[in-house]
Structure 1
Amino acid sequence: MQPHYFIGIDGGGTKCKALLQNSSGDIIGQGLAGSANPATHYGLAIESITQACERAVLDAQLSASALRYCHVAMGLAGVSLPSVKDKMLLWQHPFATIKITSDLHIACLGAHNSEEGAVIICGTGSSAFMVHQGKHVQLGGHGFTTGDKGGGAWIGVSATRLCLEAMDGLSESSPLVDDLKQQLGCQTSSAVVEQVNGAPAVFFAGLAPLVIAALEQHDAIAVRVIQEGADYVSRLARRLLSEGAKKVALIGGLAPHISPWLANDVQRCLVQPLYEPAFGALILAKKR
């Protein structure tokens, strides 16, 4: 009898992670690939998901043909838009079965190891999600050009705007201005604009580590950006609490840098996530 496997996919704007589990419940492989947001690039998302799964299967020393025996659940950025989810469901995938939900949903499942709970993600973007008494509440996640404060792309673009204002003599400068120019290989504001004009979220998220490093030196521009982002995240948390959440897990690569700047009442309600989002997708994959 052919064994069956489960794969949990965490697909975000920057990277895609796959966890492979056997029928005994053991994690036997994992794989990483690039961006998996079908709302911004459908073809790239499909490619990244497939690559991550193939690499997880190879990591488990299984043949590529094992994919046809894998039951896959994927939490993806962008599928909260009905048209995007519908398009993904039409994909002629190579797996046994698929389930598709948002990256927020699997993050919540993993963080609390339960259907009940609340999370705020601070990664490439920012967003919030909770399940309470069967009700789903989703906030934010509107993209860095229209929201996503506290997310990496928003941090990058906000810092760039403030640095350009400082370069034009319209506001106080800081060492971050020179750091940004050095990172981009630019000396003038016009050269910076040429580099960043029309750049995608992943590009601006790549500037976030520069801002975080400056924050550690109490850089004025970096502090201003992070304070604004943290204020937004605090408001997200308060809204979740008002909807019935008891505790909130703050997750994502920027979570450790944002959390110290959150309001005191919000910090008291934070809990450490139990498992990563890809594990939450595995929980979903095994549900009948």
Structure 2
Amino acid sequence: MADQEFIIGVDGGGTKCRARLYSTQQGFIGTGLAGPANPARHFESAMQSILDACQAAIDDAVLPNVTLADCHVGLGLAGVNLDTVAEKVMAWQHPFKSRFLTTDLHIACLGANDNQDGAVIIVGTGSCGLVSSQQKQVLLGGHGFPVGDYGGGAWIGFEALRYCLRSLDGVAESTSMNPQILRFFNSKNATDIAEIMLNARPADYAKLSPIVFDAAEAGDAAATDIIQQGAAQISALARQLLSHQPERLSMIGGVSLRIQPWLDKDILRSIQAPIFQPDFGAVFFALNQLNYPVHFRGLS
């Protein structure tokens, strides 16, 4: 291919949006980061996060003459497994040269398995799993918080906060986790905390998850129970994915490393490290749609 083409892969989730810029002549040359990009939650801000992350990737590559209009984009977004959300994103008047849309789970699977068949579990703000091959895709979970996403950061933080509020009411035992949560909110008043979280996003609950893991690892009974419940759900999800006999299974996401020691031992032994991160998978996805080969020059 004589002319240079630019492809941006976008990994849009409930906590952040990451973009990676790829050149057909130079390889991977830039990255960008922006805020939450789940269009099922807040459509306009999600689209703005996508634009901000993509522009940041171009700026990072120091390409003053390249604009968004010069770039193809592969979007892997949370929430677009819902048809109504996918339709809304496809109707969005984007500024790119071309646009290809799939789920954040699909690009995670492509990245984790080096653009080959395999399976992946995301445990970040939410949780879900996918087995992907040329013949089929099997999606498990991805129902969204609060109805699903067991074991994800939002679910962990939500359960911990509910426990803390019950303890403030005197109907649950106060444990060492509670003072940490109260310090996080700089408040000892349950009503104030409930008001603060009245319009909270999943990412706001997920910010509490490190507190819960710290407490569980220190032996706090309430925190331990929450983490064990979440880990049991992730183990069950992994077991169902493995029943489809994928060539390999990886786990990614901001919560994945901390929850892995709590998984069933046989499941933990089945997990292999991801080869690439989801933003690489988003580039792979776009390249596949464009029928362009993937070159690894400049890979970082």
TM range (shorter): over 0.9
SS at match of 1:191: helix
Match status 1:251 vs 2:252 = yes
- 1:113 corresponds in structure 2 to 114
SS across alignment from 1:268:
helix
State the shift of 1:239 in Å.
Answer: 0.7
Aligned residue type for 1:140: G
Matches within 5 A, 1:36-55: 36-55=37-56
**2: distance between equivalents of 1:64 and 1:143?**
40
2:78 is aligned with 1:77? yes
After superposition, where does 1:11-22 map in structure 2 within 5 Å? 11-22=12-23
Contact 2:217–2:224 (8 Å) recurs in 1: no
Structure 2 counterpart SS, 1:114: coil
Aligned twin of 1:63:
64
The residue type paired with residue 103 of structure 1 is D
Deviation of 1:133 after TM superposition, in Å, equals 5.0
Residue aligning to 1:266: 267
Q: Within 5 Å, give how 1:1-288 maps onto structure 2.
A: 3-63=4-64, 65-132=66-133, 134-287=135-288, 288=291
> Could you tell me how far apart the structure 2 residues matched to 1:40 and 1:24 are?
37
CA RMSD of aligned residues (A): 1.5
Question: What's the CA shift string for 1:161-191, capped at 9, x where partnerless?
Answer: 1112222222322111111111112213223
Residues 114 and 27 of structure 1: is their aligned pair in 2 closer, same or farther, counting only changes over 3 Å?
Answer: closer
How many matched pairs? 288
The residue type equivalent to 1:136 in the other structure is Q
Q: Distance in 1 between matches of 2:254 and 2:163?
A: 23
8 Å CA contact 1:158–1:225 kept in 2: the answer is yes
Give the aligned residue type for 1:260: P
Answer whether contact 1:67 1:95 (CA < 8 A) is retained.
yes
Using the TM superposition, give the Cα deviation of residue 91 of structure 1 relative to its aligned residue in structure 2, in angstroms: 1.7
Shift of 1:215: 2.4
**1:36/1:77 contact within 8 Å kept:** yes
Partner Cα distance (1:70, 1:192) in 2: 44
Are 1:58 and 1:64, in contact at CA under 8 Å, matched by a contact in 2? no
Question: SS where residue 93 of structure 1 aligns?
Answer: coil
- TM-fit CA distance, 1:101: 0.2
Q: Percent identity?
A: 45
TM-score scaled to structure 2, two decimals? 0.92
Please give the alpha-carbon distance, in whole angstroms, between the structure 2 residues aligned to 1:120 and 1:17.
18
Partners of 1:128 and 1:139 within 8 A in 2: yes
The whole-number CA distance in structure 1 between the counterparts of 2:52 and 2:242 is 38
| Structure 2 CA distance for aligned equivalents of residues 126 and 179 of structure 1 | 25
Partner of 2:298: none
Gaps of 5+ in 1: none
Higher mean C-alpha deviation, range 238-247 or range 268-277: 238-247
Residues in 2 aligned to 1:163 and 1:210: alpha-carbon distance in whole angstroms: 12
CA contact 2:249–2:271 (8 Å) conserved in 1: yes
1:126 is matched by which residue type in structure 2?
S
Q: Larger deviation: 62-71 or 73-82?
A: 62-71
Structure 1 residue 201, shift from structure 2 partner: 0.7
How far apart in 2 are the matches of 1:70 and 1:231? 42
1:36 is paired with a residue of what secondary structure? coil
